[in-house]
Structure 1
Amino acid sequence: MADPTPVFDDLRDESEDLDRLVAGAGDERWELSTPAPGWSVAHQIAHLAWTDRSALLAVTDPDLFHARAREALAAPDSFVDRGAEEGAALPPGELLARWREGRAALDAALRAAAPGARFPWYGPSMSAASVATGRLMETWAHGQDVADALGVARPPTDRLRHVVRIGVRTRDFAFGVRGLPVPGEEFRVEVVAPSGALWAYGPEDAAQRVTGPALDFCLLVTQRAHRTDLAVRAEGPDADRWLDVAQAFAGAPGAGRAPRTATEGAPGGGAR
């Protein structure tokens, strides 16, 4: 079993980068609108805080998590927004402290988890490493929304390898959640990391291929940019279709983002 410590460390570092971004923004900028319709910077951080605490509950008290998950899934269209609204109503300093406390507790719980343990979630159960990987993907994606709202360009890091991996692994889910036939053959995915390394998945001789910068692939699979604004390329009809429907997050299909050319350079509405 691979040592999960590197992904725990990467989640910590990704969260700290976003923490520095919002902590230095000034309280008034927490009210700025982000590309997610109806969500401010405060909503984005509140959502991360809420989800971190949900993950902490799954790790430390699975029975209580199951009970709360049943309540949440009874109203799937509102529970995410409700959690974000409640947190966003807090003063920025209090919300920031709540997020810091929750993610520190989750970090400690994941590091203390027994090898091989699995924890419930809103979909299939997950290992401690998978919980951390999912949290990193969400932290990076919602951090992108925050950066867009603040007008900040974030330098990409090789922590994106975790987002790429989720994006590749959720290929079949992205087709299935839209009622589309799942391709029967594996794809080859080759993306260039921020460091210049090549990250590759799937058979080298696959007919269906996706290539491009890792950053652009991550923006695509988290639906933070439209494919026409990205340097991700497909070879083969199924791979091309995947670039239209890809999503690394669970739940219903996201609306995605409109092309920048259609919105005069402004970010479009889309997935939360």
Structure 2
Amino acid sequence: MSIVEGLVADLTAQSAELDTLVAALDDAGWAQPTPAEGWSVAHQIAHLAWTDRVAALAATDPDAFGRVLDDAARNPTGFVDTAAEEGAADAPARILENWRSARSDLAEALGAVPEGVKIPWFGPPMSAASMATARLMETWAHGLDVADALDVTTVPTDRIRGVVHIGVRTRDFAYAVHGLTPPAAPFRYEITAPSGELWTWGPDDATDIVRGPAIDFCQLVTQRRSQADLDLEIIGTEATRWAGIAQAFAGPPGPGRPSTTADERPAER
């Protein structure tokens, strides 16, 4: 199995896991508010359907995707919300059908991207492997929002290695979106997988170190939990600064999530 095939398989499995959470919901369940302010379960799934559909378009028809970029440029801070709102207005069965179709098309499209070809996106162009990893990250993060809304605890799997990886790779991006200069020295990441395996990135002698469970690290970089509520060991001045701005998703700086003991404030979508 190639790297892309493996990542697409992980994305497919992560999507299927979320599908099982929402497939049997009644209308009230789809209307349940999630931690993302103003977004119901329906908004979350409609957003994934739209993004998967647009990602498939980018992989198969860059010119058509360029027109999506043009539309987004006319509403740069609101096009994501607008798409989610429009999608969430459909009947739940239709939302789910749209998502299933979109993610199937995306899996097929990513598998057909020639090696070395970059897919245009809202940020820098990405390889098929990077796109699959990004979609895995978003599916996992929005799935966590849905699980929280439904008061369900899901069992993490080693599929989240892809989420950890993109969290590590976006270190410098997090600095950049905050107008900060990234440090020249790499960090050391020592992340414990759900299976107990130790995943590492960076040199052994790094002075800035991030250690802890993969689930906590993923929640940090997707801004689904406050750092104060996570079991992460952060060592070093720069690692400490990074932990406060970590962001694996594209777009402007996200406001993050409040601590469970803090006052409520708007949450990142």
Q: Is the pair's TM-score, using the shorter chain for normalization, greater than 0.5?
A: yes
Single out whichever of 148-157 and 106-115 deviates more from structure 2: 106-115
Runs of 4 or more consecutive aligned structure 1 residues displaced over 2 Å after TM superposition = 24-27
What TM-score results when the alignment is normalised by the length of structure 1?
A: 0.96
Q: Distance in 2 between the 1:257 and 1:171 partners?
A: 19
Q: Distance in 2 between the 1:215 and 1:269 partners?
A: 22
Instruction: Please show how residues 147-166 of structure 1 align to structure 2 within 5 Å.
Output: 147-166=147-166
Pairing 1:270–2:258 present:
no
Deviation at 1:164, TM superposition (A): 0.4
Secondary structure of the 1:76 match is: coil
Deviation at 1:113, TM superposition (A): 2.0
Q: 2:268 is aligned with what amino acid?
A: A
Secondary structure of the 1:15 match is: helix
Secondary structure of the 1:85 match is: helix
Single out whichever of 24-33 and 99-108 deviates more from structure 2: 24-33
Check conservation: 1:137, 1:163, Cα contact below 8 A: yes
Q: 1:271 is aligned with what amino acid?
A: E
Pairing 1:38–2:51 present:
no
**Partner residue in 1 for 2:105:** 105
**Partner residue in 1 for 2:132:** 132
- Render the CA deviation track for 1:116-160: whole Å, top value 9, x for unaligned: 221100111111111111110000000000000000001001011
Secondary structure of the 2:163 match is: helix
Deviation at 1:108, TM superposition (A): 1.0
Q: Distance in 2 between the 1:70 and 1:240 partners?
A: 38
Secondary structure of the 1:152 match is: coil
- Render the CA deviation track for 1:19-65: whole Å, top value 9, x for unaligned: 01111232320001101110000000000000001101101110110
Instruction: Please show how residues 11-30 of structure 1 align to structure 2 within 5 Å.
Output: 11-30=11-30
Pairing 1:54–2:54 present:
yes
Q: Distance in 1 between the 2:209 and 2:266 partners?
A: 28
Deviation at 1:268, TM superposition (A): 5.8
Secondary structure of the 1:262 match is: coil
Secondary structure of the 2:200 match is: strand
Q: Distance in 2 between the 1:58 and 1:199 partners?
A: 32
Deviation at 1:74, TM superposition (A): 2.5
Pairing 1:258–2:255 present:
no
**Partner residue in 1 for 2:92:** 92
Secondary structure of the 2:7 match is: helix
Q: Distance in 2 between the 1:28 and 1:161 partners?
A: 34
Counting matched residue pairs gives 269
Q: Distance in 1 between the 2:47 and 2:87 partners?
A: 7
Single out whichever of 104-113 and 4-13 deviates more from structure 2: 104-113
Check conservation: 1:259, 1:268, Cα contact below 8 A: no
**Partner residue in 1 for 2:82:** 82
Q: 2:267 is aligned with what amino acid?
A: G
Secondary structure of the 1:212 match is: strand
Q: Which runs of 5+ in 2 are unaligned?
A: none
Q: Which runs of 5+ in 1 are unaligned?
A: none
- Render the CA deviation track for 1:69-94: whole Å, top value 9, x for unaligned: 12202311110001000110000001
Check conservation: 1:56, 1:105, Cα contact below 8 A: yes
Instruction: Please show how residues 107-122 of structure 1 align to structure 2 within 5 Å.
Output: 107-122=107-122
Pairing 1:220–2:255 present:
no
- Render the CA deviation track for 1:181-239: whole Å, top value 9, x for unaligned: 21121100111000000010000110110101000000000000000000011111100
Q: Distance in 2 between the 1:141 and 1:93 partners?
A: 22
Q: Distance in 2 between the 1:191 and 1:268 partners?
A: 29
Secondary structure of the 1:164 match is: helix
Q: Distance in 1 between the 2:266 and 2:41 partners?
A: 14
Q: 2:132 is aligned with what amino acid?
A: A
**Partner residue in 2 for 1:178:** 178
